Amino acid sequence: MSAWLLPDHIADVLPSEARHIEELRRALLDAARVHGYELVMPPLLEHLDSLLTGTGEALDLQTFKLVDQLSGRTLGLRADTTAQVARIDAHLLNRSGLTRLCYCGPVLHTRPQRPLASREPLQFGAELYGHAGPEADLEVLELALACLRAAGLGRIVLDCGDVRIVDALLDGLNLPALRVQQLHAALAAKDVATLGQVAADLPTATQSALLALTELHGDAAVLEQAERVLPPSAALQRALADLRSLAQSLPLALAAAGSAHTCAANDIEINFDLADLRGYAYYTGLRFSIFAAALPGQMPQELVRGGRYDEVGAVFGRCRPAAGFSLDLKELVALLPRPAAQKAIRAPWGEDAALRQAIAALRAQGHVVLRVLPGHEHEVEEFDCDRALVPHAGAWVLQALPPSP
């Protein structure tokens, strides 16, 4: 085996893809900035007990661990950035009102999350702390969709659920945590047989309601159906009302943004799946996934996950409302068409002062200028040189070059 072979699911990022990723990173951070989100840069590694406390416990098997040679304590390489941002909000900023934060950086996984996935995602995300109402959920969703628009994605499918619905159905039963976990897993998989076995000794009304959840998926009409078939309670009504408000408000928000972002309400399909409880141990309310395809006819892929997770800061001493989302920039770029080579200007090598001044002036204007070193005049470049600096009448001027064959 070659000594230079990289570990499984780890890869170098070569020039054209790296440029695409960097351009997209800047576009997404700009989208977050204009929505009022401040950039933070948490460290890649922390003490393990800080990374794997509270909601971070679920990341234990995904976290690389090592020993700090300075302190002897065990460190972890982050597998997710959300808990770190919650720590920053709780301990370093400690603001009393709203806090809007965004981030973009690598995370490391011991195992790929899905076939062919990288174990080194480049995670972009945004978090909003301090508001418990559905307005915060709507805001983070609007930002997530703005990020996908910035990437050039058009037709988008939004899939929503709310863990409070199942919590309302199980309220008062005092079930052991393992039993609740089994019910959630069966619901998420829509495994009716297993669900029936795990719920066999529950009240008949609860069994019927849990089984009904596996059929409650589709457009906004599902919310009305849920209100008819599920046992009524104040908690259930609040969850359904928030989802109904989201279904009504989001298209209006997108239509308002359409004039600036070439996006209209009919660019997005909103679906609801009341049995989808992926991440149930993490979310406390709304949970959403966003699917998109770059080209017509492509199968939409899940690109964004997010929702409400009000317990994320509890372990750091500040259990306050929180909502947000994250995505993998590498995964997003892999879905998009490869960009054309960047346009550039070719310039000869030389010591002429006027030539150097012309090159400096073009670079100051943002142009890419490649100086041709002696003996390399005919090499193929990563850049598309469509112009050249040539001497003319005692000055250096730009001359168009014929298209590359």
Q: Indicate if the pLDDT at residue 101 is higher than 90.
A: yes
Residues 145-156 pLDDT 10s: 999 989 988 778
Strands 99-106 and 122-129: antiparallel
**What is the residue type of 382?**
E
Exposed/middle/buried for residue 106 (C-beta within 10 Å: 0-12, 13-18, 19+): middle
Please name every residue paired with 289 in a beta bridge, in sequence order, or none if there are none.
Answer: 159, 305
Q: Indicate if the pLDDT at residue 322 is higher than 90.
A: yes
Domain ranges of the chain: 15-165+231-335, 344-400
Residues 23-71 pLDDT 10s: 999 999 999 999 999 999 999 999 998 888 766 667 889 999 999 999 9
Over residues 89-108, mean pLDDT:
93
Long-range contacts of 361-368 (CB under 8 A, 24+ apart): 362/389, 368/342, 368/343, 368/344
Return the percentage of the chain with pLDDT > 70, whole number.
Answer: 94
Residues 325-353 pLDDT 10s: 999 999 999 988 888 888 999 999 998 99
Q: How far apart are CA 175 and CA 179, in angstroms?
A: 6
CB contact at 8 A, 322 and 86? yes
- Binding site residues, as ranges? 80-82, 123, 127, 278, 282-283
Task: Quickly name the fold that domain 15-165+231-335 has.
Answer: BirA Bifunctional Protein; domain 2 (3.30.930)
Give me Rg for the CA atoms of the chain: 26
Q: Indicate if the pLDDT at residue 259 is higher than 60.
A: no
Q: What integer best gives the mean pLDDT of the chain?
A: 89
Q: Which residue has the higher pLDDT, 261 or 41?
A: 41
Q: Indicate if the pLDDT at residue 378 is higher than 90.
A: no
pLDDT at 153: 86
Please name every residue paired with 292 in a beta bridge, in sequence order, or none if there are none.
Answer: 156, 301
Tokens for 273, please give them.
């799946």
Q: Indicate if the pLDDT at residue 191 is higher than 80.
A: yes
- Binding site residues for L-histidine, as ranges? 80-82, 123, 127, 278, 282-283
HSE at residue 337, side-chain half, CA atoms within 13 A, is 9
* pTM for this entry: 0.89
Return the percentage of the chain with pLDDT > 90, whole number.
Answer: 66
**What is the residue type of 399?**
Q
Tokens for 116, please give them.
């062919």
Q: Indicate if the pLDDT at residue 264 is higher than 60.
A: no
